[in-house]
Structure 1
């Protein structure tokens, strides 16, 4: 399931608003997460987003981080192209290969990870994704696995040595 490409004007520094008409097929299927493809000035950015109904406008909204806006060079008032796709990923975000490899090598940690809610799993994935180098991602994933097995599931401490 996907929308046609459509154009929007960037009107809010934190959110992208999508009309009811465009998002209705997703809402009818009770989908609250989508894969987003943005195109601005020949730069394409793909990401996953949670979509919520805006209580004021009645339209749907998804957050867009400052980092994503900077990657695109997107400023308020700019017109950009967007397309929405059904989120068919397992976790609602792309799993970094470093984290996947570490989890596959540690069955106990993998089972604990899989027992978490989808939101908690995404939080852990984002925690690994924030590190730049592949080696840092591996190191932090290894620390996180050890902490999971020790019962330390606190987000602020999960990537730190005990």
Structure 2
């Protein structure tokens, strides 16, 4: 069994409004190993967050997205320097799946089969749509709507969250 690839901690700051430049020496081994999806851990003062990201080449620099949804809980602003560590993402979808989403799809084999046939990006997009709700019941309701719409043959992400009941 191979060991999971993990970088050392390194110092970064926000580039532009929502990116982080990953040094070539850190990013290249991940790219060479075929690990475009990564899991990152960021530390700033007393705070720590973990998140999933895509390691992309942009204007000849390796970058990951680091939007307000990560900046705010970490407490960083554009001029702050903070610590980052990246690791190979070994999650099934490249994002943590909410318990409510899993429960709905585990209980509906037909919807689960349709979901599994979607592209990885579309799967992540749907999971992120459910993750943005904090209330557990809302997550359940949105997951049920998605599962029902998938069974109706709807795959357009903009249409999947519309309640047709």
* Same fold per superposition (TM over 0.5): yes
Query: In structure 1, what is the equivalent of residue 134 of structure 2?
Result: 132
Say whether residues 1:35 and 2:39 are aligned partners: yes
The CA distance in 2 between the partners of 1:146 and 1:53, in whole Å, is 37
Secondary structure (helix, strand or coil) at the match of 1:156 reads helix
**Cα deviation digits, residues 112-162 of structure 1 (max 9, x gap):** 000011101001100110111010000111111110000111111211112
Alpha-carbon distance, 1:59 to partner: 2.3
Which among 109, 114, 117 is matched to residue 116 of structure 2?
A: 114
- Find runs of 4+ consecutive structure 1 residues off by over 6 angstroms: none
TM-score, normalised relative to structure 2: 0.93
Query: In structure 1, what is the equivalent of residue 93 of structure 2?
Result: 91
Alpha-carbon distance, 1:12 to partner: 2.5
Say whether residues 1:17 and 2:13 are aligned partners: no
5+ residue gaps, structure 1, are none
TM-score, normalised relative to structure 1: 0.95
8 Å Cα contact 1:10-1:80 kept in structure 2? no
5+ residue gaps, structure 2, are none
Q: CA RMSD in A?
A: 1.0
Query: In structure 2, what is the equivalent of residue 155 of structure 1?
Result: 157
